Amino acid sequence: MKRLAVYCGSATPADPRYVELARDVGRTLAERGIGVVYGGGRLGLMGAVASGALQAGGEVIGVIPQALAGAEVANTDCTELRVVDGMHSRKLAFTELSDGFLTIPGGVGTMDELWEAVSWAQLGYHAKPVGVLNAFGFYDHLLAFNRHMAEVGFVRPMHQGIILAEPELDLLLQRMAAHEPVQAIFSMKASEL
């Protein structure tokens, strides 16, 4: 994995562990020679990921919609900052520029990015690993809901392992590096669906 899209919040929670985690993720990726592709902002966890990676000498590519860049939240310290026309273009750039997706704590935008990466893996738009860093048990309920969707029958058996979740970054990166693509819906016959 040469680059990972890192999905995370632009907010700064009151609990300092989240900002520290984000900074550590950026630093660790840089130390392993893995570039960061992220939302291009300088605020919250996004800014902390970028800062950690840049301080460790890593590559950081920010992808930010024009509307947010114009609101002066763009991180001009990035190795490269791409300004795109909207959120759809941003998510497409994440997919094109990265070798996988790493989700750390975040809010609604982070969930949008994560679920699109999962959906696109199911369909066959990409065959890249989708990792969730479940630090501090932040994603316990989300992972339980994903299991519930599978138990009810809304997630096919061959797609139930798309989300790779671990509480520790080292183990998650190992699992992502060993990722095997799933059978994509695009390659399935109607009788298999």
What average pLDDT score do residues 151-173 get? Answer: 97
Q: What is the dihedral of CA 162, 163, 166, 167, to 10 degrees?
A: 180
What average pLDDT score do residues 98-124 get? Answer: 97
pLDDT higher than 80, residue 132 = yes
pLDDT higher than 80, residue 184 = yes
Q: Does domain 3-180 have CATH number 3.40.190.10?
A: no
pLDDT tens, position by position, 62-77: 999 999 987 768 999 9
What average pLDDT score do residues 168-177 get? Answer: 98
pLDDT higher than 90, residue 2 = yes
| Whole-structure pTM value | 0.95
What average pLDDT score do residues 130-156 get? Answer: 97
Q: Where along the chain do its domains lie? A: 3-180
